[in-house]
Chain A
């Protein structure tokens, strides 16, 4: 679901900082307040935890990703103004998401095209046990469908497990889980990646240097993602871990299974976010009941620095980078245990003057996209880049298709004003364009190029 965000991260704060400040310092704007209440009741935010595992870890440490798109805009008093704000901010938010998605895809495509390691077949994940080395097409198709079923059920089970944990307030467990998975990504996968890149370019490097590099990279990454850090650095780290995860998927998912899994995961995304009994929807509703912000799983946030900060109850642990500070002594660190790991960014002055309406209107709205979306977009484009034919047109076509899907998703967000899944449209377009470009456009363009004809 795509929702519009107040400057407060929590969706339903009946007595949030805004209302309290508003009533204290400025003449009450009734429609604004009502709009706020209405928006808060309407808002729902979904995250989807996606569990992914790696065959390398002996214990099934799972990665959680959220893959839903949250766009929240501040409700304004007038409907027109709100819609105009929506559209005006809409274009900016689209670009705020285009850039990181593009960067992630560039990293993945560059790696796939240059480092041979990620296109070699060296075994499969335990989540896709059926091999695709069968002679008959039917058997291969069947194996890929079975692999998909297993993978999706693992994801569903993990998500439900997470929802259950959240329901029973096992926050420390969840937090530890997240820390462990990002630890593995930042250290182990980075080490492997560095090793393969060095091998590709035949660069010799001694172990002490490697240890120094990996240690620094990983430690700063852990701090940036789980605690405080500059916004750009956080975003960069999130993009990097998404790219690393996508590369793992590209390497270890067999050909046909990968495509079927991509299709199935977008259907799952659609169901989980929009159905009333979907796990993500239940997660959102639980969080709303408890008046907490949604569980901070891996989310990429591109929130711009706010000119006026509001007390934030509980920003997402990863990826949040809005400025927060406590206003009027309001204690925002509510029940969640990861409140101590709040991302508070670099500047956090306390407001010493009454916050007027205009200042509040200067606040920028942020856009959040789950890292699972990054990962699966990059998997699609990376798989397109890894085709044996080495065609770049396919990669380019998938890239444009995904961006257009993201644009359409954000447009729907602006129209429906509730949380929407970010995967279905983009992945559908991506899949259509991959198969049609690879099979139809490629022979045409190759024939044209051989005769040097231009259309």
Chain B
């Protein structure tokens, strides 16, 4: 494990998220606050779910392996559900915030729309989730050791980095989908987000069979990306115009 592994995994895992942050969030103070608050909400959900898991583990027999495994599965699923519940709570909070911002603004419209808030909230959740999964690994990657010396997979760091990246993206898209579903009362979108999250977390139980976890996650990410793009007002025409830098009277604006 070397500096190369450390930097490589850091950039794989956090590079896209960091550039998203830099180009879309860092300029606007309100968005930064929403980001940090989103991270905070994710953290609280993690806290509560670990509390439940901890109590369950302490109340059970530590030597019973299948039971511990079952408790772990239960912990993971419960954590996913709690994260989505907190996403809903955050949506409620942001709705109230928008009403406050509208009331306080001079021209009756809020400086930030709910769609933008959805995106930023998703990035907040994703960044915190990714950070909690990855940072300890990165710190260990700097130190001495050999990956997989006891027969485990040698690709541990790399696959963790890729998994983290896909999870950050997924959280971003789920944020958009979830908030859109809440806004427009489309419950099936919310259910879809929850099911997708459960699926992604469930697929990681296939690790170290990485084909079983990474491939479905990336496929789901692509689906969620397309869906979120459509919901945000994108279309095939927009995409073609953007890619071809078509000049149709006005210069094309990059999607915010």
Contacts and interface: CB of A to CB of B under 8 A. Distances in A.
Interface of A: 80-81, 83-84, 86-88, 91-92, 94-95, 98, 390-393, 396-397, 400-401, 403-404, 407, 433, 436-437, 439-441, 443-449, 451-455
A437 B47 contact: yes
Interface of B: 28-30, 32-33, 36-37, 39-40, 43, 46-47, 49-51, 53-54, 57, 72, 75-76, 79-80, 83, 100-101, 104-106, 111, 128-129, 131-133, 135-137, 139, 156, 159-160, 163-164, 167, 200-201, 204-205, 207-208
Contact of A81 (B75, B106, B133): B106
B136 A393 contact: yes
Among the interface residues B76, B100, B201, which one has the most CB atoms of the partner chain A within 10 A? B76
Contact of A455 (B76, B111, B208): B76
Contact of A452 (B33, B57, B100, B208): B208
Contacts of A452: 156, 159-160, 163, 204, 207-208
Contact of B104 (A87, A391, A396, A441): A87
A94 B33 contact: yes
A86 B53 CA distance: 43
Contacts of B37: 404, 407
B164 to A, nearest CB: 8
B43 A443 contact: no
Contacts of A448: 72, 76, 133
Contacts of B83: 455
20 contacts: A84-B106, A87-B100, A88-B111, A91-B29, A94-B29, A393-B132, A396-B132, A397-B43, A400-B39, A401-B43, A433-B47, A440-B54, A443-B57, A444-B49, A452-B207, A454-B164, A454-B200, A455-B79, A455-B80, A455-B83
A391 B133 CA distance: 12
Q: Which 5 A-B pairs have the closest CB atoms?
A: A91-B29, A444-B50, A452-B207, A95-B29, A392-B135
Given A83-B104, A94-B29, A453-B201, A407 B136 contact: no
Contact of B40 (A400, A454, A455): A400
A391 B140 CA distance: 10
B51 to A, nearest CB: 5
Given A83-B104, A393-B136, A440 B51 contact: yes
Contacts, number: 117
Among the interface residues B43, B167, B200, which one has the most CB atoms of the partner chain A within 10 A? B43
B76 to A, nearest CB: 6
Given A95-B32, A392-B135, A404-B36, 13 more contacts: A84-B106, A87-B104, A396-B131, A403-B36, A441-B50, A445-B136, A447-B72, A451-B207, A452-B163, A453-B201, A453-B204, A454-B164, A455-B79
B72 A453 contact: yes
B50 A440 contact: yes
B43 A400 contact: yes
Contact of B167 (A397, A446, A451, A454): A454
A98 B200 CA distance: 34
A455 to B, nearest CB: 4
Contact of A441 (B28, B47, B101, B111): B47
A91 B33 contact: yes
B254 to A, nearest CB: 23
B39 A84 contact: no
Given A87-B101, A452-B208, A433 B43 contact: yes
Contacts of A404: 36-37, 40
B133 A449 contact: yes
A401 B185 CA distance: 32
A436 B47 contact: yes
Contacts of A396: 131-132, 135
A407 B40 CA distance: 12
A436 B51 contact: yes
B36 A407 contact: yes
A443 B32 contact: no
Contacts of A401: 40, 43
A101 to B, nearest CB: 12
Contacts of B39: 400
A182 B47 CA distance: 41
A397 B53 CA distance: 19
Contacts of A455: 46, 49, 76, 79-80, 83, 129, 201
A98 B31 CA distance: 13
B51 A393 contact: no
A422 to B, nearest CB: 16
Given A84-B106, A451-B72, A455-B83, A98 B167 contact: no
Given A448-B76, A454-B163, A92 B51 contact: no
A442 to B, nearest CB: 8
A369 B23 CA distance: 29
A94 B32 CA distance: 10
A315 B155 CA distance: 59
Given A87-B104, A392-B139, A445-B132, A453 B205 contact: yes
Contacts of B163: 452, 454
Contact of B32 (A86, A98, A436, A441): A98
B137 A449 contact: yes
A91 B101 CA distance: 11
A254 B128 CA distance: 31
